[in-house]
């Protein structure tokens, strides 16, 4: 997770771009019925006692309702190939398990210790996000935060590549470095 890298190794991270996300503790703090309806997959994918991999791998095309119209044929073909790979599905589930486990623990410890991200942060989110303002949430973690909203679904890089590239370029230009 890029946030973790920026917190633990500030000398190595000179800019941070966060796409459509907030720290897990902040997300869980705003859990309500609307959140549960929109983000139910977090809790499903994060299960260890009833592994989601089995359910997903039965019919990945039915599970992931995305298509080439939003992201183009080539990107969709790459995504579809990955989603049919059981090791990729397991890795995706493990990411959610870490979010509900160790990531949440580490975020809580960082918050309690007052640790903050030292580099400029760009927060990019889609119009239909659960949080009222991702930028405001990230300002609790860093002093130098800019936010950009992109008209996109979850797969920003594939669905809105030009807009996302422009947003990231603005971060790199603003901080005076092409290193990421």
Q: What is the pLDDT of residues 106-115, one digit of tens each?
A: 999 999 999 9
The total of other beta-carbon atoms located within 10 Å of residue 57's CB is 16
Q: What are the backbone dihedrals phi and psi of residue 85, each rounded to the nearest 5 degrees, phi first?
A: -95, 115
Residues contacting 27, CB < 8 A, separation 6+: 35, 39, 42, 130, 131
- Tell me: the pLDDT tens digits for 161-180? 999 999 999 888 875 444 44
pLDDT of residue 177: 47
Strand-strand pairing, 145-150 and 16-19:
unpaired
> Bridge partners of 142?
117
Under the banding of pLDDT at 50, 70 and 90, the label for residue 143 is very high
For position 179, what pLDDT does the model report?
Answer: 40
Residue pair 15/119 in contact (Cβ under 8 Å)? The answer is yes
- Token code pair at residue 95: 């990411």
pLDDT at 180: 40
pLDDT digits 0-9 by tens, 60-88: 988 887 888 888 899 999 999 999 999 99
CA 69 from chain center: how many Å? 22
pLDDT for res 66: 80
Domains of the chain: 2-174 (3.40.50.1820)
Measure CA of the first residue to CA of the last residue in the chain; give whole Å: 14
């Amino acid at each position: 997770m890029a946030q973790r890298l920026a917190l633990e190794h500030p000398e190595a991270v000179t800019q941070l771009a966060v796409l459509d996300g907030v720290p897990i503790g902040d997300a869980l703090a705003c859990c309500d019925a609307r959140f549960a309806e929109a983000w139910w997959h977090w809790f499903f994918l994060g299960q260890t006692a009833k592994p989601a991999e089995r359910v997903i791998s039965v019919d990945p095309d039915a599970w992931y309702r995305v298509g080439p119209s939003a992201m183009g044929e080539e990107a969709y073909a790459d995504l579809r190939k990955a989603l049919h790979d059981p090791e990729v599905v397991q890795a995706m589930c493990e990411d959610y398990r870490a979010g509900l486990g160790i990531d949440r623990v580490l975020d809580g410890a960082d918050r309690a210790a007052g640790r903050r991200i030292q580099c400029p942060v760009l927060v990019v989110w889609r119009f239909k996000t659960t949080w009222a303002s991702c930028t405001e949430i990230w300002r609790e973690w860093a002093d130098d935060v800019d936010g950009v909203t992109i008209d996109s679904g979850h797969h920003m890089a594939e669905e809105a590549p030009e807009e996302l590239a422009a947003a990231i370029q603005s971060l790199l230009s603003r901080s005076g470095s092409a290193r990421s």
